[in-house]
Amino acid sequence: MGVFVFLPLVLPLTALPVARLAALHLHPRVATRLLSVLAAVLAVCSTLCLGLLVVVGTAQLPGNPLPDAWSDPEVREAVPYDEIAGKAAIVALAAAGAGCAGAAWRHRRVRRRAQEALAGLPGGELAVLADEAPYAYALPGPARAPRAAAGEGDDPGDGPRGPGRIVVSTGMLACLDEAERDALIAHERAHLAGRHHRFLLTVRLAARANPLLRPLRAAVAYTSERWADEEAARVTGDRTVVARAIGKAALVSRGTPAPTLAGFSAPSPGPVPRRVAALLGPAPSAVHWPSVRSAVGLAVWAAAAGTVGSALSSANATVTLFLVLHAATPF
């Protein structure tokens, strides 16, 4: 194991340069997927590292369930023992676990409350809430329409209506003209079709597991919105209309119920102007891998190298620990 077991805790730093560069220079779809994968792998490796440190660093503490053979001097030489690191790892692992559990619970609670708010409304993809507060968001999950009663004629369209529902308030609709409403619907439909909530939840959990990954969370929140913007522009055929709709919504919107749901516009002053400026420019190129000679290419390769290094370090420490435990423990 050695010092390599500590590498997955700090190697997420290699992914930080790519967060902003990927959001600016890669196609939003590619950037969202790339950053989400990087965050997930790095978070898993760092969490595994903490678990190994807990096992190794607390092997000689009273009450540890590991076999007595682990106290053998030869075993302790093969697996470095650091009581301070082990105790610190316990605190860090508990904090990471509590943070991930809290984020998952909040995500589930927000979705459940949003679904309960739609109770009694007609089925279908679009759900309009009578609310003067302007907002719009994509609610993932199977949306079902009420089935026709027996003898009243079954509608073959009843049942699953797609990957979720589009929720919009009457206040938001009143702020937009017909073309801008079409852009809004296309934007939210892109969130549902792309399952963007999964990427948002992945980076949210990763940031809770390792705070160094928080910049990736912010980057994916932006790139997923840009992904939906580009899909809306492609469907409507008018990038200016989509940009105008986002600008209007940003001026009056109060945001989505929680960051766990993808919304039409965020009230924060930073991302919205960048999104509008991107829509007023040409459509991004769908290049899947940047040139290594470019800044974003170098950042991507550095992040990839850091991720591979983190995975190899975690695998090496895990295999070493397993072999030592197997050799020291009679089965």
The rounded distance, in Å, linking the Cα atoms of 114 and 261 is: 10
pLDDT value at residue 138: 87
Residue 19 clears pLDDT 90, i.e. is over it: no
% residues pLDDT > 70 (the chain): 75
3-class SS string, the chain:
CHHHHHHHHHHHHHHHHHHHHHHHHCCHHHHHHHHHHHHHHHHHHHHHHHHHHHHHHCCCCCCCCCCHHHHCHHHHHHCCCCHHHHHHHHHHHHHHHHHHHHHHHHHHHHHHHHHHHCCCCCCCCEEEECCCCCCEEEEECCCECCCCCCCCCCCCCCCECCCEEEEEEHHHHHHCCHHHHHHHHHHHHHHHHCCHHHHHHHHHHHHHHCHHHHHHHHHHHHHHHHHHHHHHHHHHCCHHHHHHHHHHHHHHCCCCCCCCCCECCCCCCCHHHHHHHHHHCCCCCCCCCCCCCCHHHHHHHHHHHHHHHHHHHHHHHHHHHHHHHHHHCCC
218-234: pLDDT as tens digits: 899 999 999 999 999 99
* Token pair belonging to 256: 């989505």
In a domain, 208, yes or no: yes
Q: What is the mean pLDDT of residues 245-266?
A: 66
In a domain, 148, yes or no: no
pLDDT value at residue 147: 42
Q: DSSP letters of 213-256?
A: GHHHHHHHHHHHHHHHHHHHHHHHS-HHHHHHHHHHHHHH----
Domain tally, the chain: 1
Q: Give the best-scoring range by mean pLDDT among 8-17, 97-106, 245-254.
A: 97-106
pLDDT value at residue 230: 93
Least confident residue range of 46-50, 52-56, 193-197, 239-243: 52-56
pLDDT value at residue 156: 37
pLDDT value at residue 1: 54
Q: What is the mean pLDDT of residues 199-219?
A: 92
Residue 236 clears pLDDT 70, i.e. is over it: yes
The rounded distance, in Å, linking the Cα atoms of 241 and 60 is: 66
In a domain, 240, yes or no: yes
292-313: pLDDT as tens digits: 777 877 888 888 888 888 888 8
Task: Give 216's pLDDT tier (boundaries 50, 70, 90).
Answer: very high
Q: What is the mean pLDDT of residues 246-262?
A: 67
Look up residue 126 and give its amino acid: L
> Do residues 168 and 184 make contact, with C-beta atoms less than 8 angstroms apart?
yes
In Å, how far are 67, 83, 300 from 62, measured between CA atoms? 12, 12, 45
Show the domain range for 87.
2-143+162-328
Residue 7 clears pLDDT 80, i.e. is over it: yes
% residues pLDDT > 90 (the chain): 28
112-152: pLDDT as tens digits: 888 888 887 777 888 888 888 888 888 887 544 444 333 44
In a domain, 155, yes or no: no
In a domain, 256, yes or no: yes
47-93: pLDDT as tens digits: 988 888 887 776 665 555 555 555 555 555 656 556 677 778 888 99
pLDDT value at residue 89: 85
pLDDT value at residue 233: 94
In a domain, 34, yes or no: yes
**DSSP-assigned letter for residue 3:** G
In a domain, 152, yes or no: no
Strands 164-169 and 136-140, sheet pairing:
antiparallel
In a domain, 154, yes or no: no
